[in-house]
Amino acid sequence: MSDFLLQLGQNPQARRLIKALGLPVPIPQTLRRARGPWEERPLADKVIVVGGMGAGRMAAPVAKMLAESGAEPIVIGDALDAFRAPGEAFGRPARAAQLGELPEGKFDGVVFDASELAEPAALRALYEHFHAVTPRLAAGGRAVVIGRAAATAKTPEAAATRRALEGFVRSLAKEVGKRGATAQLLIVDDGAEARGAEVLRFVLSPRAAFITGQPIHVTGEVTGKAPPTRVRALEKKVALVTGAARGIGEATAHLLSAEGAHVVCLDRPEDDALVSKVARDIGGSVLLVDITDPHAPKKIADELRAAHGGVDVVVHNAGVTRDKTIGNMTAEQWEQAVDINLGAVVRITSALLAGVLRDGGRIVCLSSVAGIAGNVGQTNYAASKSGLIGYVEKLAPALAPRGITVNAIAPGFIETRLTAAIPMMIREAGRRLSALGQGGLPQDVAEAISFLAQPASVGITGSVLRVCGGALIGA
């Protein structure tokens, strides 16, 4: 189902006419998405304005990451020394500037390190930076604030200052969304700065086009080292994707394969033709299993062990909706949604953790914004998707010593066959009630899954990453 307003917005004449007439028509900006697998320099020639670094511990890893990624940093303040050596090594020397004397032109990204702010008055620096730079942020640009966790602050004043960053970023995301731009908050634990730079690379890239307004916590909790390579980072890895026949599952299978993984495409026996085509297209394998079958966990574990020697990435994508208000919902509708979306995930994961999922592995569960905010007629679905959030939060610490991360993705309105069946007015509301003013694509969710599946995401675990375009519902 095509988005008429998005198509209309691609016509420059139509955009100018609507603006000139003063019509209250929210024309969304076409998002700049990535094509193909990760490249060595994902930020090539992107002009990134960096401020607030000072003597903070983020300066060196951020400078190194930007230089490696091909960016052209403009450094505000006194952190230029940290950027000099990486810039020379990669032929990308940083430029120094002052907020009142910024170079001409638009900026592709703006980064501010607020990790050293410790009192409310210090937030003035945050205002001054974005006040000067945001008006010049390009369409499809990226704004990122780096902070510390409020829970680890030494004083109430510091905690208040750190938590203020979240409200700032959520609001900024809504302000810049009409330009197709995004805003994120990276909460980086002390000692996890290098890992934070890896996440910064992702959120500055086109692969995070439909993620905005999100606080992303980066920790040093999980055992692991910085990846030796970021191109085909899943080479010689085995990935399992459930519900791989169509939609988000199909898109995920393609992206994981493009990063070098051998993908085992799992779906119901009834979807043999569809899932077999996906597997053929990517050179993967087919595993036909009904995940509600009591014997499914053992069948899956045995197949992965026998055919592949184990598994490195597990993506729990399979799911169903059985929508009815609670008074009209049958017991069967309740059981189907809760068992398929939650119960099967728990059972299959338990079987894989018994010697099948290798150390350093990745588990990604598909939750939903409905599991965060709730939805009319979806008590069963929302309960199951919220349950997944609790599951990853509790499971993550137990697996951290093995180098395994466990996370959830919470998609918002994504253009699939399911949303195409929604009544038109509700569908339009779902598209427009977000900072980016449009629905996402299966690729957007798959990009987030692909990042969480890679070694570079080692700093993120026990988290929920919303891929919702900054939906106005939930938190």
Indicate if 132 and 245 belong to the same structural domain. no
What are the residues whose beta carbons fall under 8 Å from the beta carbon of 392, sequence distance 6 or more? 363, 365, 406, 407, 408, 462, 463, 464
Point out the domain boundary residue: 218, 249, 264: 218
Q: Domain for residue 10, yes or no?
A: no
Indicate if 177 and 80 belong to the same structural domain. yes
Q: Domain for residue 101, yes or no?
A: yes
> How far is the C-alpha of 200 from the C-alpha of 211, rounded, in Å?
13
> How far is the C-alpha of 442 from the C-alpha of 430, rounded, in Å?
16
CATH number for the domain that contains residue 126: 3.40.50.720
Q: Domain for residue 16, yes or no?
A: no
Q: How many domains does the chain have?
A: 2
Partners of 143 in beta bridges: 110, 183
How much is the CA Rg of the chain, to the nearest whole Å? Answer: 22
Long-range contacts made by residues 277-284, C-beta under 8 angstroms, separation at least 24?
278/244, 278/245, 278/250, 278/253, 278/254, 279/244, 279/253, 281/254, 282/253, 282/254, 282/257, 283/257, 284/253, 284/257
Q: Could you say which DSSP state residue 402 is in?
A: G
Of 366, 254, 361, 348, which is closest to residue 303 (Cα–Cα)? 348
Indicate if 432 and 308 belong to the same structural domain. yes
Indicate if 242 and 389 belong to the same structural domain. yes
Of 214, 194, 198, 144, which is closest to residue 457 (Cα–Cα)? 198
> How far is the C-alpha of 46 from the C-alpha of 18, rounded, in Å?
30
Residue of 168, 381, 391, 413 marked active site: 381
Indicate if 275 and 406 belong to the same structural domain. yes
Indicate if 60 and 100 belong to the same structural domain. yes
Task: Provide the pairing of β-strand 95-97 with 107-113.
Answer: unpaired
Indicate if 299 and 366 belong to the same structural domain. yes
Point out the domain boundary residue: 163, 184, 218: 218
Q: Return the residue matching tokens 């009904």.
A: 290
> How far is the C-alpha of 243 from the C-alpha of 268, rounded, in Å?
8
Indicate if 203 and 310 belong to the same structural domain. no
Q: Domain for residue 231, yes or no?
A: no
Instruction: Return the sign of the alpha-carbon dihedral for residues 457, 459, 460, 466.
Output: negative
Indicate if 324 and 417 belong to the same structural domain. yes
Point out the domain boundary residue: 188, 218, 248: 218
pLDDT in tens, the chain (475 residues): 565 556 555 656 655 654 554 544 567 788 999 999 999 999 999 999 999 998 789 999 999 999 999 999 999 988 899 999 998 998 889 999 999 899 999 999 999 999 999 999 999 999 999 999 999 999 999 999 999 999 999 999 999 999 999 999 999 999 999 999 999 999 999 999 999 999 999 999 999 999 999 999 999 999 998 777 789 999 999 999 999 999 999 999 999 999 999 999 999 999 999 999 999 999 999 999 999 999 999 999 999 999 999 999 999 999 999 999 999 999 999 999 999 999 999 999 999 999 999 999 999 999 999 999 998 899 999 999 999 999 999 999 999 999 999 999 999 988 877 666 666 666 676 777 889 999 999 999 999 999 999 999 999 999 999 999 998 766 5
State the first-to-last Cα distance of the chain, in angstroms, to the nearest integer: 28
381 a catalytic residue: yes
Q: Domain for residue 444, yes or no?
A: yes
Of 211, 239, 404, 213, which is closest to residue 316 (Cα–Cα)? 239
Q: Domain for residue 88, yes or no?
A: yes
Indicate if 324 and 453 belong to the same structural domain. yes
Q: Domain for residue 11, yes or no?
A: no
Indicate if 413 and 300 belong to the same structural domain. yes
Indicate if 136 and 253 belong to the same structural domain. no
Q: Domain for residue 8, yes or no?
A: no
Give the domain range for residue 143: 31-218
